[in-house]
Amino acid sequence: MQEEFEEYPIAYSIDNAILMHRDAHFAGSFPIMLEYYAKNGKGVNSEFEISRIRELWETEQKTGQNLSVLMLSGAEAEKVARARKSYLDLRSLYTKSAGHKKTFPLLIADLILAEEEEVPEAIQAVIAQKGAVVTLLIDLLRSEDFHDPLFPGYGEAPALAAKCLGMIADKRSLISLFEAIGSEDFFNEDIILEALHSIGQPAKTFLLKVLHGRPLTIDNEHAALALSWFKDDPEVSASCLKILQEIDLPKNELLATFLVLACESLTPPLRQELLAIAGHPKISKALRNDILIIASSNR
């Protein structure tokens, strides 16, 4: 049987990803997976070509073998098993709550499992609980598993949690949201930055404290990036200008760029101070241009 199987080329790592995706989300069924992909559901992976999914299905039919058994490593199979258990754990919440008012964990499950058309309703149901669900949302935001597209929610659940936290605007979520800045798991970091901005004054105070911390670390960069969403606040702009005047600009260009972006609300005298920084002999052309644009804007 192995010789028969070798007639069909399955040499791409993407094939393993397709098989894991099928097993985790579609009960190991290619027909169910293809039906879902035909509807372009929330969990469709743009890297998976439908033609290749069909080829793998045809290979299974011709060989009479489950390709996952032949192709997946022990670690890959174990990850699929964890993903499927996660589905079972979520579904058990529905069984336990049948006929009763939805519990907070069940509302979070609704958020995780919601397809695109269901997301707005799931978000509204969660934020209606306000502070009572903040801890659960933070747990979801920080969960390594739910950042993974192989798990329920297709890797999008933490972003939905961040959106909810921003709408609830509870300062208890500040640190967790801040720690999510720069994470490779977030394809749309604006969701995190918008959530921090929505928290308002507590977030501003926290971010300014981090920004002024020494020695300079990546935390200063993340704080400056987040503060660029507060660029309409004169206090933020003045603080960012002060940091620009203190740091070694050539050695901290990314930090400097974020700081400049937050300087839009400078008073005319402070704009002149910002403009003077553009005369630094060793800053890059890109940074100089950013300074000139901000300093000359008519705000």
Question: For residue 282, which amino acid is it?
Answer: K
Residue with tokens 């400056």: 224
Q: Is-contact 271 244, C-beta < 8 A?
A: no
How far, in Å, CA of 282 to CA of 260, rounded?
16
How far, in Å, CA of 101 to CA of 107, rounded?
10
**Which of 40, 228, 229 lies closest to 244, judged by CA?**
228
pLDDT at 299: 61
Residue with tokens 């070694």: 248
pLDDT at 1: 40
Angle (CA) 294-297-299 rounded to 5° is: 115
**Which of 211, 177, 172 lies closest to 197, judged by CA?**
177
How far, in Å, CA of 214 to CA of 65, rounded?
60
Q: Is-contact 249 281, C-beta < 8 A?
A: no
Q: How far apart are the first and last CA of the chain?
A: 74
CA 223 vs CA 200, 237, 240, 262: distances in Å: 14, 13, 10, 11
pLDDT at 12: 58
Write out the chain's pLDDT in tens, 299 residues: 444 444 444 445 899 999 999 999 999 999 999 999 999 999 999 999 999 999 999 999 999 999 999 999 999 999 999 999 999 999 999 998 777 788 999 999 999 999 999 999 999 999 999 999 999 999 999 999 999 999 999 999 999 999 999 999 999 999 999 999 998 776 789 999 999 999 999 999 999 999 999 999 999 999 999 999 999 999 999 999 999 999 999 999 999 999 999 999 999 999 999 999 999 999 999 999 999 999 988 66
Q: Is-contact 274 243, C-beta < 8 A?
A: no
Spell out the domain ranges in the chain.
2-72, 81-191, 200-299
pLDDT at 22: 98
Q: What is the DSSP string of 154-171?
A: TT-HHHHHHHHHHHHT-G
How far, in Å, CA of 103 to CA of 296, rounded?
54
The DSSP 8-state label assigned to residue 173 in this structure reads: G
